[in-house]
Amino acid sequence: MFSRVDGGETPMGEHEAEPRILLVEDNPLHARLVVGMFDEVWPGYDGLAQARRLDDALDRIAAEHFDCVLLDLVLPDADGIDAVRAVARAAPHLPIVVLSSHDDDAVAHAALAEGAQDYLVKGKVEAKELLKTVRYAMRRMADSAPSRPAVGGGRSELGVRAGIGILDREGRFLFCDEGVAEMLGRSAGEIVGRSIVGMTHPVDVEVWSAAFGRASEPFVVRLRHGAGHDQRVAIVLEPLLGASGEVEAYVAAYHPQLEEGTLSSSGTWVVMSGFGA
């Protein structure tokens, strides 16, 4: 998956075009380390651009096309979550992967809640993991695009708004956007860190275990809304396979229902990932 094969697979996936990635990092040593990681797993890759300040990065994002942003949280003109917020506001559909020196769960959750797709700690991430994280971030953002047809059909006709959530192996939310928050009737801050199983009606908890053995088949669970009532949700899981053929994550199409067999006017896409486990 992470070595170039002539005429075939690239580190970003089979036959995929070479992406443009913007690295926002003011520390020259850290920037060289990132460049070195790309060289290690993708020799000859020249799609990595660099900016040392947030305002420079925003100017480049406005003027050029990028497929992903690798963002440091400590910059000369921005500090902390403000950098994530500024990039997400300037380019809502551009995936952001934070590269931080701070191994802090609270900061990571805050970055994810503000729009980052993932959070990596400098010095603890290897080259292959970095590229896999970028690839997944791009895939998740593409899956959340409003033009994506719904798994099981019906979303575009209903005008269903997409959302993104990320769950770890134990079902805890690492990230959710406004679409997921709206469906569950809670703020993103209330959801991140909580288990989706804990928000599921007790009778339906076992459905989650069975669902992974029959991916791509629809199932329905009742999720507890913040107002106290149960929200019926029709779900279809789509496995994402790695180069070895093993399942690395799941994309789930979520269709909240007004009543049995009837789609509501909101829906979400959720990626169930091993990251953070």
Q: Which residues contact 156 (CB under 8 A, 6 or more apart)?
A: 147, 149, 150
CATH fold, domain 155-273, is Beta-Lactamase (3.30.450)
Over residues 123-141, the mean pLDDT reads 86
Indicate the domain borders of the chain: 9-143, 155-273
User: Residue 243 — pLDDT band, cuts 50, 70, 90?
Assistant: low
Nearest to 172 by CA among 191, 185, 186, 190: 191
In this structure, are residues 71 and 99 in contact, taking their beta carbons and an 8 Å threshold?
A: yes
Average pLDDT of 78-105? 90
Q: How confident is the model at residue 44 (pLDDT cuts 50, 70, 90)?
A: confident
Q: What span, in angstroms and rounded, lies between the C-alpha atoms of 179 and 269?
A: 9
CB of 49 closer than 8 Å to CB of 66: yes
Taking each continuous run of H as one helix and of E as one strand, the counts in the chain are 9, 16
Q: Is pLDDT at 272 greater than 60 in this prediction?
A: no
Which position has the token pair 């070895």? 244
Lowest mean pLDDT segment, chosen from 26-30, 111-115, 179-183, 232-236: 232-236
Whole-number percent of the chain with pLDDT over 70: 66
Lowest mean pLDDT among 48-52, 84-88, 143-147, 230-234: 143-147
pLDDT tens string 152-179: 333 323 333 456 666 676 677 777 777 7
CATH superfamily of 9-143: Response regulator (3.40.50.2300)
CB 165 within 8 A of CB 173: yes
Q: Which residues pair with 223 in a beta bridge?
A: 200, 231
Strand partners, 269: 164, 253
Q: Highest-confidence range of 93-97, 155-159, 199-203, 209-213, by mean pLDDT?
A: 93-97
Q: State the average pLDDT for the chain.
A: 74
Estimate the crossing angle of helix 28-41 against helix 127-143, to 10 degrees.
Answer: 80
**Nearest to 79, CA basis, from 49, 110, 105, 35:** 110
Total-model pTM:
0.55
Rounded Cα gap, residues 252 and 272, in angstroms: 8
pLDDT (mean) for 270-275: 45
Task: Dump pLDDT digits (tens) for 72-84.
Answer: 999 999 988 999 9
CB 162 within 8 A of CB 269: yes
**8 A C-beta contact, residue 49 and residue 64:** yes
